[in-house]
Structure 1
Amino acid sequence: MVEKMKTEKKKLLIYAHYYSPDVASTGQILKELAEGMLHAFDITIICVVPSYTGKIAADYKTKMFYKEEINGVKIFRIRVPEFSKTKKISRIKNILTYFIGAIFATFKVGKMDYVYSISQPPILGGLIGVWGKWMKHAKYIYNIQDFNPEQTLAVGYSKNKLILNAMMWLDKFSCKRADKVIVVGRDMMKTLQDRFRSKMVPTHVFINNWIDEKEIYPLLADNEKVLAFKKKYGLENKFIIMYSGNIGLYYDLENLIHVLKKFKERNDVAFAFVGEGSILDNLVLYKDKYDLKNVTFIPYQDKSELVYSLNAGDVHWCINAKGIKGVSVPSKLYGIIAAGKPILGVLEEGSEARLIIDETKCGYVTEPGNYEEVEAIIERFLNEKGTTTPIEMGERGRAYLVENLTKDVSIRKYIEEIKSCE
């Protein structure tokens, strides 16, 4: 009995908002993190029913809560209303339902030693973690994937000073109540320090996000499934410049698509957008208005198919809007370099993603808003197609990832940092 008590794993509660099979990048990261930490902790997830696209399957519409287990991880799902990503009220209702549901779900999951939450949904992700800490008398780890209200302010989603000040006060409150804050970029460490003006800064550490390099990896151009993907979406015999990920507010895509109009007569290039998001309809309308025949929109790809869609691109966009430096790190970066593809970066100098690209020389980068330079970079890639330059870029990025950004490296750091809170 004594030996059993010695070896019993500590219990870790994770508030995830989205979790697999949802295709949200944070949901995929948290799945890999949870499963990777199972040897160290007994893990329970509190999240919503699969609903990232806004739609909910009939199987998840009959009860308030659903208990599942996936690969050894216990999952407690909350039913939320369906929503539209283009309608603020609809999204807010969905998010608040998750928040309230998570409060009640906390009572149903038993004793916990650690509570871990991420900064999604904005502000509420941190607050639900504080709630879990108090209710479970546990150590609290707050993982900031995106700083808010800084992100909200950067993209102009709200300019109401009263709301923004309240958001800042609440998220600083969550940071102060955390036993440890984990950020995902070197630039984000400075943002946290600036929030507290370098006084009484919460205990914090930087750990990169990652990609599973065994699931996403370079494939030959004549791979059967890569060719099938190109054929399905009319991309055969084209030089493909691809954007893969959330087509949302934080990437300046509504301005960048104006640059693509300048290449509308080029039959040898295709601009492929893979994913969904709040501004997708606006991009489709622009394409139709200007008859951009070489612009293609493709739905989200299942995780099992992602290796083929990423490999179909010859060059990949990695983008953040101006003001996102120190606020967020585009997770799509890791998938691009895992697939060994060169990057067309539109990123602020000193941001985490740009630091990696500059250090590895795995792409060409310019500042957000510099649309003339974006056009010049596209021309440069088109001039270099068929040469060894883009291949060597991709190889450098892949080599850096294998050395520094693998799942095993980051998960080991997470385990160490969580246990150090004891």
Structure 2
Amino acid sequence: METTGQGDCPGEVWLLPNWVDPERIYPLPVSASLRPELGLKPTNRVILYAGNLGEKQGLEILLEVAERFHSRPEVVFVLVGAGGGREKLEAKVQAAELTNVRFFPLQPNEKLAALLASADVHLVLQKKSASDLVMPSKLTGIMAAGGCAIVTALPGTSLYELVERYQTGILAEPESAEALWAGINRALTSDLAPYRANALAYAKRYLQKEAILTTFEQQLLALTPPAV
């Protein structure tokens, strides 16, 4: 959320970013995840997309990628959420007989940390037209949970620069099945511990609710004339 200064400060912009509640989203071991509840095996490599199943995410390419992993039964694509595009996606999965793609409904807030702990790799997918986002809300939760995300963003956008600068995830070109497939392959064959550590460190430093509100309060107080 951006707050634009008015009056004596025309054009001044403050950024009040999304925050994360550390009492609700935090790192958990896989043993405390939702894998058993979702019918996932300990040997599965779980690629998780959790959030809106709408049009702007361009999730159709995810099905193309899943088809390329069909010969690797240990790799499972888990889509959790609801949205206007879900029925169309489910129909395409059934038509293509993609047994490695599974859909689940939105999970209650108290299970969110356990859901995020279920993933080996998270997906933050956007179309090119929506890629200039500073921080998608789903990414803040992933980072607070100490997860590694594949993020589709264009070079030169705020989102791309943030992920690249802090090395909090793996970047891929939006709307490209080939780029997404390469990113997932890279994630499945790499040590993701550094990305996870960087993501959690970023969340602790920049996404804590108290720190964000304290900074905002200080900015507001700076506009108040000193007492005479």
TM-score interval, normalised by the smaller of the two chains: 0.7 to 0.9
Residue 13 (structure 2) aligns with: 204
Matched, 1:233 2:35: no
Q: Which amino acid aligns with 2:211?
A: V
Over alpha carbons, which structure has the higher Rg?
Answer: 1
Judge conservation of contact 1:320–1:330 (CA < 8 Å) in 2: no
Once the two structures are overlaid, the 10-residue window that deviates more, 366-375 or 201-210, is 201-210
Distance in 2, matches of 1:270 and 1:334, equals 23
Distance in 2, matches of 1:396 and 1:327, equals 20
Residue number among 185, 192, 204 corresponding to 1:390 in the alignment? 192
Please state whether the residue corresponding to 2:107 is helix, strand or coil: coil
TM-score, normalized by length of structure 2?
0.87
Q: Which amino acid aligns with 2:21?
A: D
Judge conservation of contact 2:152–2:173 (CA < 8 Å) in 1: yes
Judge conservation of contact 2:28–2:145 (CA < 8 Å) in 1: yes
Unaligned runs of 5+ in 1: 1-142, 146-174, 181-199
Residue 58 (structure 2) aligns with: 252
Residue 167 (structure 2) aligns with: 361
Matched, 1:264 2:66: no
Distance in 1, matches of 2:50 and 2:217, equals 30
Judge conservation of contact 1:179–1:421 (CA < 8 Å) in 2: no
Larger helix proportion of the pair: 1
Residue 186 (structure 2) aligns with: 380
Larger relative CO (CA 8 A, sep 6+): 1 or 2? Answer: 2
Matched, 1:412 2:214: yes
Residue 26 (structure 2) aligns with: 217
- C-alpha displacement at 1:416, in angstroms? 3.8
Distance in 2, matches of 1:217 and 1:269, equals 25
Residue 100 (structure 2) aligns with: 294
- C-alpha displacement at 1:314, in angstroms? 0.9
Unaligned runs of 5+ in 2: none
Residue 88 (structure 1) aligns with: none
Residue 112 (structure 2) aligns with: 306
Residue 399 (structure 1) aligns with: 201
Judge conservation of contact 1:325–1:350 (CA < 8 Å) in 2: no
Please state whether the residue corresponding to 2:130 is helix, strand or coil: coil
Residues 106-140 of structure 1, C-alpha deviation per residue, up to 9 Å, x if partnerless? xxxxxxxxxxxxxxxxxxxxxxxxxxxxxxxxxxx
- C-alpha displacement at 1:207, in angstroms? 2.8
Judge conservation of contact 2:46–2:121 (CA < 8 Å) in 1: yes
Q: Which amino acid aligns with 2:40?
A: L
Matched, 1:275 2:84: no
Judge conservation of contact 2:57–2:125 (CA < 8 Å) in 1: yes
1:9-20 map, 5 Å = none
Decide whether aligned partners of structure 1 residues 232 and 324 sit closer, same or farther in structure 2, where only a CA change above 3 A counts: same
Please state whether the residue corresponding to 2:117 is helix, strand or coil: helix
Decide whether aligned partners of structure 1 residues 250 and 421 sit closer, same or farther in structure 2, where only a CA change above 3 A counts: farther
Distance in 2, matches of 1:415 and 1:262, equals 50
Residues 332-377 of structure 1, C-alpha deviation per residue, up to 9 Å, x if partnerless? 1111111111111111223333222212222211121232121111
Judge conservation of contact 2:53–2:86 (CA < 8 Å) in 1: yes
Q: Which amino acid aligns with 2:87?
A: D
Distance in 1, matches of 2:61 and 2:114, equals 28
Please state whether the residue corresponding to 1:232 is helix, strand or coil: coil
Distance in 2, matches of 1:275 and 1:417, equals 37
Residue number among 332, 338, 345 corresponding to 2:151 in the alignment? 345
Residues 53-101 of structure 1, C-alpha deviation per residue, up to 9 Å, x if partnerless? xxxxxxxxxxxxxxxxxxxxxxxxxxxxxxxxxxxxxxxxxxxxxxxxx
Q: Which amino acid aligns with 1:412?
A: T
Once the two structures are overlaid, the 10-residue window that deviates more, 206-215 or 301-310, is 206-215
TM-score, normalized by length of structure 1?
0.49
Please state whether the residue corresponding to 1:323 is helix, strand or coil: helix
Distance in 2, matches of 1:300 and 1:268, equals 24
Judge conservation of contact 2:54–2:83 (CA < 8 Å) in 1: yes
Decide whether aligned partners of structure 1 residues 325 and 376 sit closer, same or farther in structure 2, where only a CA change above 3 A counts: closer
Please state whether the residue corresponding to 2:192 is helix, strand or coil: helix
Q: Which amino acid aligns with 1:240?
A: V
Q: Which amino acid aligns with 2:102?
A: T
Alpha-carbon RMSD across the aligned residues, in angstroms, is 2.3
Residues 152-183 of structure 1, C-alpha deviation per residue, up to 9 Å, x if partnerless? xxxxxxxxxxxxxxxxxxxxxxx7xx749xxx
